[in-house]
């Protein structure tokens, strides 16, 4: 392996420039005097490349075995960021498989990995990858992906499936980049960056047979309904273990409107969900995967099911679940009374919940709504389960409460949250905020890619930030302090005792600029499948994501248009305004607005999914 080094400006010594890559070749011989005739069961590796001039969420590629081998681990090329990583494999080539994951097997469960940065190898924890046997003369495909666009790879030349590098034991092919997690737009040809670790063996060890041994098979099921009738991006509901200890092992869902590939995420938390509808910190993700949907009104199982983390519920306890898709295809039914049981047997009782109009942990709340699907579970206890569940599915009575919901917290503080997708990032984010009614921002939460201590500075100004992107003139500093980050997909809240309250008067526009001294802030690239950008709002405040930009240096620098802020406004719905306290005029949600700042309104409730692009080198 040849590592990156330094360039020197003078002979024989001078100014050093790094990192730089040597151009040249090494000629060498291998001492085989100590080798056995077969060289079996030896630990080997093949280095592919660390070129990494582009990258995104993942890479698929093939390994062709010239002799019997066992893949034991991978070293990867990941930017200096934390991400959730998962690895799949399948027999044969990845070419032509598209986004169909039915034939893929999970060999590395979703695990949080800290990248070591550009031109550095990132090592997976030892003994976490299920070994994969590849027989001589056969091909095995691998798919490595993460929940952020920080995986680096290189551009290929010959085409996906063409040999890129080889030795006497294996050959690695050019592959395909993945522009989403765990699937998305495909880029081809692309080349895996890193090292493949393997052992040469004489035959397939029995222990390498890949099976789902993570969870026991479920013994019982509780079905609600597949009637549908309405739906959106997500469904939150609670269930009660009524008579014994219960372990939830999986679900089957109602996803419409036609068979297709969909990204599904499932979260859980102890106790009721009320008060935590937008608070991702209090939820644990137990499943993420691609499913091949069966269509509306039909049962769609989770595939592969061995990614689902079992959820244990004690007798009499309440456990909440949040099922969400990245597009509004989850089907549920209208209910009658939130929090009331509507399907039960002798083990479990499922309560009426809510629909969520955005992905994930954002959007309008629709209540009450009924989970459509099947819970798969095991029990421990002496009471036999009832195999025929009772159900009190309500009739198709109309519901007229589908309005945006405020999220109050303690001391009359309200939270307005964006998403925390964070598929991109840099040094800062500028946003425009419209006060629909008088409001005072008490503090904010931000999205950062580190758990270390960071320097955070927040500025404010009245009016749009346009024209002031490159200068501190007219900006007022409202926060400047060190904060401990909470990492990806989690809120990092700035201390209220160090944050100068921002008072906003109804009908006025204000700007916020959040910047770090390190390139660690995360935001979302605003490319969607319907070509529009989502604005976040409630009855008091609108965050105009159509105007949000990223900033490429500290404290001011290059501007990147269309970068959606990731964060939360913590505010109270009053301010010491000397002007009229009447709210900004409301316009019917069906009205099309070309300039939301000149005509404040509630915006349509459709929150689109995104089509992420590759992230080039800076």
| Whether the Cβ atoms of residue 329 and residue 262 lie closer than 8 Å to each other | yes
Q: How far is CA 200 from CA 66, 71, 166, 170, 249, in A?
A: 10, 9, 15, 10, 37
- Dihedral sign, Cα of residue 55, residue 421, residue 89, residue 81: positive
Nearest alpha carbon to residue 345 among 242, 419, 432: 242
Work out whether the CA dihedral 66, 71, 77, 78 comes out positive or negative. Answer: positive
CA distances from 57 to 142, 424, 425 (A): 14, 11, 14
Token pair of 68, please?
Answer: 């019997």
Number of separate helices (H) and strands (E) present in the chain? 0, 48
Please give the pLDDT value at position 296.
86
DSSP label of 13:
S
Please write down the HEC assignment for all residues of 519-580. CCEEEEECCECCCCCCCEECCCEEEEEEEEEEECCCCCCCEEECEEECEEEEEECCCCCCCC
Residues contacting residue 599 through CB under 8 Å, at least 6 positions apart: 585, 587, 593
HEC per residue, 472-500: CCCCEEEEEEEEECCCCCCCEECCHHHCC
Neighbours of 546 (CB within 10 A): 18
Apex 524 CA angle, 521 and 525, nearest 5: 125
DSSP code, position 585: P
Q: Which two tokens stand for residue 105?
A: 């097997």
DSSP letters, 159-220, are: -TTSEEEE-SSEEEE-EEEESSSSS--EEEEEEE-EEEEEEE-SS--GGG-----SSPPP-E
Fold that domain 38-208 belongs to in CATH: Jelly Rolls (2.60.120)
Which CATH architecture does the domain made up of 220-391 adopt? Sandwich (2.60)
458 in helix, strand or coil?
Answer: strand
Predicted local confidence at residue 589, as pLDDT: 31
- C-alpha pair distances (Å), 615 with each of 164, 176, 200: 23, 15, 36
Question: 492 φ, ψ to 5°?
Answer: -115, 105
Q: How many CB atoms lie within 10 A of CB 12?
A: 5
Structure tokens given for 358: 């955005």
Distance in angstroms (rounded) separating the CA atoms of residues 159 and 96: 13
Closest CA to 368 of 259, 237, 242: 237
Which secondary structure element, helix H or strand E, spans residue 332, and what is its range?
strand 330-334
Please tell me the predicted confidence (pLDDT) of residue 208. 36
500: nearest Cα among 554, 460, 470, 472: 460
- Please identify which residue in the block is written with the tokens 């749009």: 464
At residue 261, the 3 state secondary structure works out as strand
User: What would the CATH number be for the domain defined by 410-572?
Assistant: 2.60.120.820
- Give me 42's structure tokens: 């030896």
* Strand intervals (E) in 201-310: 220-223, 230-232, 234-241, 245-254, 261-270, 284-292, 299-301
Q: Where are the domains of the chain?
A: 38-208, 220-391, 410-572
Cis peptide before 368 (omega within 30 of 0): yes
Give the DSSP letter string of 113-162: EE---TTSEEEPPTT-SPPEEE-TT-EEEEEEEESSS-EEEEE-SS-TTS
pTM for the predicted model, two decimal places: 0.42
Tokens 């001391």 sit at which residue? 411
Burial of 148 (0-12, 13-18, 19+ CB in 10 A): buried
**How high is the mean pLDDT in each 10-residue block of the chain (618 residues)?**
78 75 77 44 82 90 92 93 88 80 75 89 86 88 91 92 92 92 83 93 50 56 92 94 92 83 86 87 82 84 73 94 90 92 93 89 87 92 38 31 36 81 87 89 93 94 88 90 88 94 90 93 64 64 84 90 90 73 37 28 28 33
How far apart CA 25 and CA 48 sit, in angstroms, is: 15
Would strands 311-313 and 318-325 be described as parallel, antiparallel, or unpaired?
unpaired
Q: What is the rounded CA–CA span in Å between residue 363 and residue 577?
A: 29
pLDDT of residue 410: 45
- Taking every pair of Cα atoms in the chain, the longest distance, rounded to a whole number of angstroms, is 90
Both tokens of 376, joined, read 């798969």
Task: Look at phi and psi of residue 194 and say left if phi exceeds 0, alpha if psi is from -120 to 50, else beta.
Answer: left
Nearest-angstrom CA–CA distance, 551 and 558:
6
Counted residue by residue, the chain has a size of 618
């Amino acid at each position: 392996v040849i590592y990156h080094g330094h360039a020197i400006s003078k002979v024989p010594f001078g100014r050093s420039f790094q990192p730089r890559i040597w151009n040249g070749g090494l000629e060498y011989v291998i001492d085989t005097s100590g080798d056995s005739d077969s060289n079996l069961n030896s630990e080997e590796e093949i280095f592919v490349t660390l070129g990494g001039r582009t990258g995104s969420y993942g890479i698929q590629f093939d390994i062709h075995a010239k002799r019997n081998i066992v893949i034991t681990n991978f070293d990867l090329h990941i930017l200096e960021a934390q991400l959730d990583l998962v690895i799949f494999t399948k027999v044969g080539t990845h070419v032509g498989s598209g986004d169909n994951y039915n034939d893929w097997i999970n060999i590395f469960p979703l695990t949080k990995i800290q990248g070591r940065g550009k031109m550095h190898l990132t090592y997976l924890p030892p003994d976490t990858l299920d070994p994969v046997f590849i027989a001589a003369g056969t091909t095995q495909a691998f798919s490595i992906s993460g929940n952020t666009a920080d995986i680096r790879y290189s551009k290929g030349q010959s085409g996906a499936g063409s040999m890129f590098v080889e030795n006497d034991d294996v050959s690695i092919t050019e592959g395909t980049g993945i522009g989403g997690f765990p699937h998305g737009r495909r880029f081809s040809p692309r080349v895996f960056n890193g090292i493949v670790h393997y052992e040469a063996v004489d035959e397939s060890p029995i222990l390498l047979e890949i099976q789902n041994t993570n969870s026991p098979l479920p013994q019982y099921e509780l079905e609600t309904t597949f009637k549908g009738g309405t739906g959106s991006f997500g469904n939150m509901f609670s269930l009660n273990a009524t008579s014994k200890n219960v372990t939830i092992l999986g679900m089957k869902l109602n996803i419409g409107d036609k068979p297709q590939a969909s990204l599904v995420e499932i979260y859980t938390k102890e106790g009721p969900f009320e008060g935590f509808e937008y608070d991702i910190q209090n939820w644990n993700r137990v499943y993420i995967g691609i499913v091949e949907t069966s269509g509306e009104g039909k049962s769609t199982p989770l595939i592969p099911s061995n990614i689902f983390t079992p959820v244990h519920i004690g007798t009499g306890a309440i456990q909440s679940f949040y099922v969400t898709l990245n597009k509004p295809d989850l089907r549920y039914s209208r209910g009658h009374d939130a929090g009331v049981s509507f399907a039960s047997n002798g083990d479990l009782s499922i309560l009426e919940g809510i629909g969520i109009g955005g992905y994930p942990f954002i959007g309008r709340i629709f209540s009450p709504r009924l989970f459509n699907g099947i819970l798969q579970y095991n029990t421990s206890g002496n009471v036999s389960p009832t195999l025929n569940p009772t159900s009190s599915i309500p009739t198709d009575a109309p519901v007229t409460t589908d309005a945006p919901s405020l999220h109050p917290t303690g001391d009359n503080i309200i939270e307005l949250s964006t998403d925390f997708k964070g598929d991109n990032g840099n040094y800062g984010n500028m946003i425009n905020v419209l006060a629909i009614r008088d409001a005072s921002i008490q503090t904010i939460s931000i999205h950062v890619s580190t758990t270390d201590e960071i320097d955070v500075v927040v500025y404010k100004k009245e009016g749009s930030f346009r024209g002031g992107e490159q200068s501190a003139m007219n900006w007022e500093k409202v926060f400047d302090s060190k904060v401990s980050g909470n990492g990806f997909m989690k809120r990092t809240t700035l201390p209220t005792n160090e944050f100068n309250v921002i008072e906003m008067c109804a009908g006025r526009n204000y700007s916020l600029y959040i910047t770090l001294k390190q390139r660690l802030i995360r935001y979302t690239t605003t490319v969607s499948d319907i070509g529009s950008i989502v604005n976040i709002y409630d009855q008091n405040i609108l965050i105009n994501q159509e105007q949000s930009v990223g900033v490429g240096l500290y404290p001011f620098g290059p501007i990147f248009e269309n970068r959606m802020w990731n964060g939360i406004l913590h505010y109270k719905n009053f301010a010491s305004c000397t002007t009229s306290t009447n709210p900004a005029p409301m316009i019917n949600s069906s009205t099309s607005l070309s300039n939301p700042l000149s005509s404040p309104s509630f915006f349509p409730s459709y929150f689109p999914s995104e089509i992420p692009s590759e992230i080039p080198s800076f």
